[in-house]
Amino acid sequence: MNRRVVVTGMAVNTPLGDTMDGFLDGLLQNRSAITRWRSIDTEQVYGKIGGDLGDYDCGSALAALTERIPSDIALRLKRLMRRAPWATKLSMLLAVSAYVDAGLADADIDPVACATIVAGHNQNSNYFYGQFHQFGEEPDYIDPLFSLHVLDTDHGGSVSEVLQTRGPLYTVGGACASGNLALRLAVDEIRFRGLEQVVLVAPVLDLSPIEIHGLAMMGAISFESFNDNPSAASRPFDVRREGFVPSHGGASLIVESLDSARRRGARIYAEILAVEANSDGNHLPLPSQEGQTRLMRRALDQASLEPADIDYVNAHATSTPLGDLTEIASIKDVFAEHAYRLKINAPKSLLGHTCWSAPTVETIAAILQMRAGCLHRSVNIDDLDPEVDLDVCRAGNAEWKVRRFMKNSFGFGGINCVSVFADYDDA
Q: pLDDT tens, 109-161?
A: 999 999 999 999 999 999 999 999 999 999 999 999 999 999 999 999 999 99
- Encoded amino acid at 68, one letter: R
Q: pLDDT tens, 292-318?
A: 999 999 999 999 999 999 999 999 999
Pairing of strands 270-279, 34-36: unpaired
- What are phi and psi for residue 155, nearest 5 degrees? -60, -50
Task: Return d(Cα 311, Cα 421) in angstroms, integer.
Answer: 11
- 338 by DSSP, 3-state: which? helix
Output the pLDDT for position 319. Answer: 97
Pairing of strands 114-119, 343-345: unpaired
> What are the C-alpha distances in Å from 216 to residues 64, 103, 206, 233, 244?
38, 43, 17, 14, 10
**Mean pLDDT confidence for 408-425:** 95
CB 29 within 8 A of CB 240: no
Task: Return d(Cα 261, Cα 44) in angstroms, integer.
Answer: 51
pTM score of the predicted model: 0.97
**Mean pLDDT confidence for 227-246:** 97
**Mean pLDDT confidence for 191-220:** 96
Residues of the chain with CATH 3.40.47.10: 5-270, 274-426
| Mean pLDDT across the chain | 96
Residue 427 clears pLDDT 60, i.e. is over it: no
Q: Please give the CATH superfamily to which domain 274-426 belongs.
A: Thiolase/Chalcone synthase (3.40.47.10)
Q: Does domain 5-270 have CATH number 3.40.47.10?
A: yes
> What are the C-alpha distances in Å from 243 to residues 58, 126, 382, 390?
31, 22, 16, 21
Task: Return d(Cα 238, Cα 240) in angstroms, integer.
Answer: 5
Residue 282 clears pLDDT 80, i.e. is over it: yes
When pLDDT is cut at 50, 70 and 90, the band that residue 426 belongs to is low
